[in-house]
């Protein structure tokens, strides 16, 4: 495989290895049981990143192809993500997540607005149930807070 393509292919697993090692080291400083989950996620991430790194080193040709990427759409989604983060506390989880999902689906080229609205609402609901109800993560909900 060409050196430049190999470096591009290896950059993501190497970044995730570094991130996972940082998570493991940082979570070791937590007191009590607080570091258990971050440590578990760190080790899981490390194992997956090492697997991807080894798989990438074994493959004969690069599977990453940036030639057909619509750079304008990538920038639009990145701007939408930045707005999502900036507006999250101001307009709340439900509205910001629904709008982000709808925008990304529309940006990907799907034209069925009813399905887009249904899918966005479904994603918002599933993530809400997972984080707010199952995991107990506080989310800014404005008028829906409980």
Give 41-100 pLDDT, tens digit per residue: 999 999 999 999 999 888 877 766 777 788 889 999 999 999 999 988 888 889 999 999
* Mean pLDDT, rounded, for 120-144: 86
pTM: predicted TM-score of the whole model, two decimal places:
0.63
Tokens of 95: 């509205």
What are the angstrom distances between the C-alpha of 4 and each of 13, 42, 48, 57, 64? 15, 29, 23, 13, 11
Which comes out higher in pLDDT, residue 82 or 35? 82
Query: What is residue 42's predicted lDDT score, i.e. its pLDDT?
Result: 93
The percentage of the chain sitting over the pLDDT mark of 70, rounded to a whole number, equals 93
Residue among 21, 51, 50, 53 at smallest CA distance from 38: 21
CB atoms within 10 A of CB 10: 14
What is the pLDDT confidence band of residue 134, given thresholds at 50, 70 and 90? confident
| pLDDT greater than 70 at residue 22 | yes
Backbone angles phi and psi of 119, in degrees to 5: -65, -45
């Amino acid at each position: 495989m060409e050196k430049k393509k190999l470096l591009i292919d290896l950059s993501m697993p190497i970044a995730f290895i570094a991130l996972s090692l940082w998570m493991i080291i940082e979570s070791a400083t937590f007191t009590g049981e607080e570091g258990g989950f971050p440590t578990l996620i760190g080790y899981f991430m490390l194992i997956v990143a090492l697997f991807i790194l080894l798989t990438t080193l074994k493959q004969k040709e690069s599977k990453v192809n940036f030639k057909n990427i619509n750079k304008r759409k990538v920038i639009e989604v990145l701007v939408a993500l930045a707005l999502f983060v900036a507006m999250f506390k101001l307009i709340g989880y439900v509205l910001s997540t629904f709008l982000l999902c709808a925008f990304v689906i529309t940006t990907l080229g799907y034209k069925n607005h009813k399905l887009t609205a249904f899918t966005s609402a479904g994603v918002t609901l599933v993530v809400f149930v997972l984080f707010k109800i199952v995991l107990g993560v506080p989310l800014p909900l404005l008028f829906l807070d409980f």
